Amino acid sequence: MIRAPAPAKLNLALVVGPQREHGKHEVATVLQRIDLGDRVALSPAPRLMVEGYAGDTIVRQALEQLAAAAGVAPRWRAMITKRIPIAAGLGGGSSDAATALRLANETLDQPLAAAALSTLAARLGADVPFFLESGPQLGRGDGSELTPLQLPQDYWIVLVLPHGVAKESTATVYRRFEERDGVQGWTSRLETLEGALARIIRPRDLAALPANDLAASPLTAELVRLGAFRADVTGAGPAVYGLFRHRRQAEAAQAAVRAAGRTWLAVPAWYG
């Protein structure tokens, strides 16, 4: 049996533009792993089995597609141990799929090259290729076209999953974006993002990144009041994060917002 962590991610920025030819929107997003994560274990099996999370579809799809690409039968047993909250904007399913892909690819007599594995991952979902890479990345196109970023990693993260707030479907989130004519100002917001990235040296410089175009939460203002130098929603939500310079400050903020939802204290992670 082989096993590996499957870390969650934050969208430290998410700027959304017009629809592309295939119907997906143009995005520019800053992706950062954190040390909150699931765990994926893989072992040989007479047939494909995915256990531990009854709601999984993406890990199964990932392993089926890898087997088809490699010309082998999908004879793996994948065990998923969930810690990342489901449907929260933290990329748990994508991370599980990428981790299963990487582990299964290592078992092949002729493993797929990194580029081929990334192409396969992109067919599963826009976030999946990110979890095959190391370090923070700028995602462009539909989010799967990646460029490495050098970002500070020395800060603390308070995550909050608000009580009573369910994740909306991606289609609903983007429809609301279009109804409010959210694409207006895309070029300006993109320039703001690119300019901010060029000037980031210290953790506090992350505060200059533009706010999430798809989702907002009143909890972000509360986290800033409690000392966060940046707070926003990750992905399409509903999870909210606050970034803090010092652990003691982050712990105090976590305690202060605990009544609002489930909370976690985390730090950035470079790889799984």
Question: Which residues are catalytically annotated?
Answer: 9, 127
Tokens 């995915």 correspond to 50
Asked if residue 38 lies in contact with residue 25, where contact means CB atoms within 8 angstroms, the answer is no
Write the CB contacts of 173 (distance below 8 Å, at least 6 apart in sequence).
Answer: 214, 215, 236, 237
The enclosing H or E element of 63 equals helix 58-70
φ, ψ of residue 164 to 5 degrees: the values are 70, 10
Asked if residue 167 lies in contact with residue 237, where contact means CB atoms within 8 angstroms, the answer is yes
Alpha-carbon dihedral of residues 162, 166, 169, 170, nearest 10 degrees? 0
Residue 8 structure tokens: 């969650």
Asked if residue 30 lies in contact with residue 73, where contact means CB atoms within 8 angstroms, the answer is no
State the Cα–Cα distance between residues 93 and 103, nearest whole angstrom: 15
